[in-house]
Amino acid sequence: MRTVAIIDYGMSNLRSVARALEFVAAGRHRVTISADPETIAGADRVVFPGQGAIGQCMDNLRSHGLLDVLRQCLCEKPFLGICLGLQSLMEWSAEDGGTACLAFLPGQVVRFPDTLTDPASGLRLKIPHMGWNQVDPARSHPLWEGIDRGEMFYFVHSYHVVPDNEGDVAARTVYGPEFVSACCRGNIFAVQFHPEKSQRAGLALLANFLAWAGD
């Protein structure tokens, strides 16, 4: 049986991600939550979820001894990043006074401005960006299979990624201005929204990830 490892680095909503993956796996994949580098390295595919602040995320990855295996998995197997799992792939984040990230994708993470407004109404938009919003794929990808353009996904974040390379952009979303809500490169696919909280569309994306060969 194929295995899916959810990286446990001491933070994030691991159980809800696991339950969503177990539901779409329907017994065809074994889903495990693990902080053990050997278990993670031995899995067929890896999920890196995240909630909270990037500084603590990077500190916990170091203290749990997970940086090396995480970098290995980013090079070798189908990899899904969720929320901080996307932001951590950039070179640097403005959060927590400035935080060096994994530098797997060139770019940075910036905060939505406090003056963010709706261009149509002129009304001030709340930070964090929280709730349902449309996601527009920027390119075709196996993880978008069966998901309509403009489908609604669930977001909770105050920071967003700004990739240097247009080719790494997988989707965009409008909240005031447009921002990048998903990135992909090779065997890596990472999203700012939470598929495990996004009902039908989120489950479809997770099912597509389990079927994806990572190329």
First to last CA, the chain: 21
* Residue 89 backbone class (left: φ over 0; alpha: ψ -120 to 50; beta: rest): alpha
DSSP string covering the chain, please?
Answer: -EEEEEE-SS-S-HHHHHHHHHHHHTTSEEEEEE--HHHHHHSSEEEE---S-HHHHHHHHHHTT-HHHHHHHHHHS-EEEETHHHHTTSSEESGGG-EE---SSSEEEEEPPTT-B-TTT-PBPPSSEEEEEEEEESS--GGGTT--TTEEEEEEESEEEEES-GGGEEEEEESSSEEEEEEEETTEEEESS-GGGSHHHHHHHHHHHHH----
Q: Which residues are catalytic?
A: 83, 194, 196
